[in-house]
Structure formats: C-alpha cells, structure tokens
Amino acid sequence: MRLAPFLASLALSLATAAAHADDTLQAVDRLMLRYQGDVPGASLLVLKDGKPLVRRGYGLADLATHTPAAPDTDYRLASVSKQFTAAAVLLLAQDGRLHLDDPVRRWLPELPDTDDGITLAHLLSHTGGLIDYEDLMPAEQVHPLRDIDVLHLLANERRSYFPPGQGYRYSNGGYALLALVVERASGMPYPDFLRTRIFQPLGMAHTLAYVEGGPAVPHRAYGYTEIGGAWTRTDQSMTSAVLGDGGIYSSIDDLAQWDAARYDDRLLDAASRRLAFSPHAKVTGEPYRADYGYGWRLTGDTEWHSGETVGFRNVIVRWPKQHLTVVLLSNRNAPEPYETALAIGRLFLAP
C-alpha cells in the first residue's frame, strides 16, 4: 500500500466523522432549544458504552442567582426516584432480610386487614390497588407529608381500586410504603440506607434523599413554573417530603454511575436485575404503551422512567442492547422531556 494515498484517505475519513459528530451535536442543541438562555434549564447526558457523548447544561439552575445549569447540578428526580426504592428492596431481598412475596402487613401492621393480600411485589409493580394518598390528604394540610404520614392515611382507608394483582394503577403511596419497609427491614433510616448501600458504593457522592434540616443538596437546582408568561419558583409542595416515591436529588454525572450498575453485579446480582427489568404488569391509564418492571417502564427496546413534580420534569431512557442511555433533568414544569429524550437517542442509535 502506498502511504500517501492511505494517509489522505484516513484524513478524509476522520474529517467526515468529525463533521458528522458536529452535525449531531448541533441537532441535539436544536432539540434542547427551549431550555437555553435566561430561563430554567436542564442538564443532558448521552452515554454510549459507558462513555459520555453529550454532557452539558442548558439555561439556569437558579434564576435568583443566575447560576447556570451544569453536569453536576442536582435536580429533584421526582418519580425517577422509584428505581432507587426498588433497588433498595431488591438489595434487602438479596440479603435475605425480606422476600418479595412478603405481605406488606408483615412489615407495616398498621395497615388495615383489607390489605392482607398485598405483597411487596404488588407495590413494586403498582398492582396493589391502593387508593391514591394524594386524594386522602386533608384539604387544610399545611405541613408537608412524610412517608410515615402516608402510612397513617392509608391505615385508615379500607377501600381499594381492585383486588391485589388484578389490575394496574400507578401508586405513589405504594413506593412511600416501600421506603418504610426498607427502614424496618434494615434497621436504618431510608436516606442512610440509600447512602450506604447504593450511593456511596457507586460513587454517587452528590446524590441524596433530601430531608429538610438534614444534609443540604449540593449544586441545587430550584424548580419553576411558567405563570402568566413569567417564571415563578415552585420548588416544594405538600408531597415533596415523601421520599420513597420521589424525594431523591441527583445529577447527570452521578446518574452515569447508576447507569453503569445496570450492566454488571456491582450493585444488584443478575437475578435481581432480571426482576427489575422484567414485565410484571401491563401499564394502563397512562399516555404511553408499556409494561412495568420494578421502578422501570419497559417499551419495546427501551427501559425508561419519567419523573414529574412541582417545578421539575425528568426522564431516563435506556436502549440496553445498544448500551445507549439518555438522561434529561430539568427544573421547570414544561416541556415534558420524554419525547425529546427519544429524539436525542435516535441520533445516536446504530443503524
């Protein structure tokens, strides 16, 4: 082979690849246009084979201080937190401290006997039939609910939407109860269990289940809602202190470590991972067709979960067969990020 033509061909190939990569990043920026400027923003991560292809912030994490959103910005994950609660339960099952077919009343005897048939597996897959605790909150509620308050509300409720295992209805209350089960089975407060058994082992140094008066959220993003054409801080609500269903703060940098644990035994063993990512129920009553695993929705080739709470909209989408993941965290009430994450993922999917 003559060296000069080979080097010329190699240079052309590298230039073509660089141009394609630049075009792809420009396409990503166009999809993220609404988050750019002096507005509540977002942090975006695209991982391929564990390597970040995109890792950047858009807009602002705090309008008052004009702090930019960045890869280390911590957002309230809302229901993306559920996958961590599920992982905590699976870890305790691995330890032999509990079993997924345990009746929930074994751990939470305060619940009424009408809940006798509900197991931990039912709560993990939203098939327990529990009444939504948000509908049981007193109208005059002035102090944020905690997980134990959710238990007290459900302890006085004998109605259900359906018998256990005979339907699906997304249940924040079920995951609040699971956080309490984690506490009772482990003998540790839920935030401490997450820190010592999940966050520290994975190197997620800036991730925590936030409790007012406890450790502060580092690099915190504050939530906003657009009201009358202006952004208003709407960072906390009466349900923001409930941890098991949505109380974790994290960053895209830390979630890269969480994503890596999907593919090996560093946290959950192979049997537990199969349980987490197997379809246990057909999702109904939601705008997307999916099955539900334990803390994850399963749709075709993707594993994903969204999270929505006052002032925050988040999503994680994985294409596990291609080792591709998109994480989009935002501190604003709109837009809904799932379709944006899918569109970004498609830019990086192999043919």
Higher pLDDT, 195 or 2: 195
pLDDT of residue 3: 63
Tally of CA atoms within 13 A in the half-sphere of 133 that contains its CB: 25
Exposure b/e, 12-28, CB count within 10 A at least 16 = b: eeeeeeeeeeeebeeeb
pLDDT digits (tens, 9 = 90+) for 65-101: 999 999 999 999 999 999 999 999 999 999 999 999 9
pLDDT of residue 2: 62
Query: Active site residue: 43, 79, 240, 250, which one?
Result: 79
Q: In what order do the strands lie in the sheet with 51-58?
A: 51-58, 42-48, 324-330, 312-319, 302-309, 297-299, 291-292, 281-282
pLDDT digits (tens, 9 = 90+) for 14-34: 444 455 678 999 999 999 999
pLDDT of residue 319: 98
Mean pLDDT within 226-236: 94
Q: Which are the contacts of 272, defined by CB distance < 8 A and separation ≥ 6? A: 90, 91, 93, 94
Domains of the chain: 38-346 (3.40.710.10)
Contact 69, 43 (CB under 8 A): yes
- Phi, psi (rounded to 5 degrees) for 46: -120, 120
Q: Could you check whether the bond before residue 52 is cis, i.e. omega within 30 degrees of 0?
A: no
pLDDT of residue 15: 46
Tally of CA atoms within 13 A in the half-sphere of 102 that contains its CB: 21
Q: What SS3 string covers 230-291?
A: EEEECCCCCCCCCCCCCCEEECHHHHHHHHHHHHCCCCCCHHHHHHHCCCCEECCCCCCCCE
pLDDT of residue 140: 84
String of DSSP letters for 60-128: EEETTTTEEP-TT-BEE-GGGGHHHHHHHHHHHHHTTS--TTSBHHHH-TTS-GGGTT-BHHHHHTT-S
The pLDDT mean for the chain works out to 94
For 190, 235, 244, the CA distances from 196, given in Å and listed in that order, are 10, 27, 16
pLDDT of residue 1: 52
For 51, 137, 139, 233, 292, the CA distances from 142, given in Å and listed in that order, are 45, 10, 9, 18, 34
> Considering only CA atoms, which of 237, 92, 106, 250 is closest in space to residue 172?
237
pLDDT of residue 4: 64
CA dist 92 and 15 (Å) reads 51
Give me the torsion for CA of 119, 238, 76, 40, rounded to 10°: 150
pLDDT at 195 over 70: yes
CA dist 10 and 19 (Å) reads 14
pLDDT of residue 351: 79
Instruction: Give the pLDDT band of residue 8 (cuts 50, 70, 90).
Output: low
Instruction: Give the pLDDT band of residue 335 (cuts 50, 70, 90).
Output: very high
End-to-end CA distance of the chain: 31
Give the tokens for residue 258. Answer: 């969480």
CA dist 217 and 214 (Å) reads 9
CA dist 10 and 324 (Å) reads 27
CA dist 132 and 103 (Å) reads 19
pLDDT at 6 over 60: no
Higher pLDDT, 351 or 319: 319
Mean pLDDT within 138-145: 88
79 is catalytic: yes
Distance of alpha carbon 301 from the chain centroid: 18
pLDDT of residue 17: 47
Among residues of the chain, what percentage have pLDDT more than 70?
A: 94
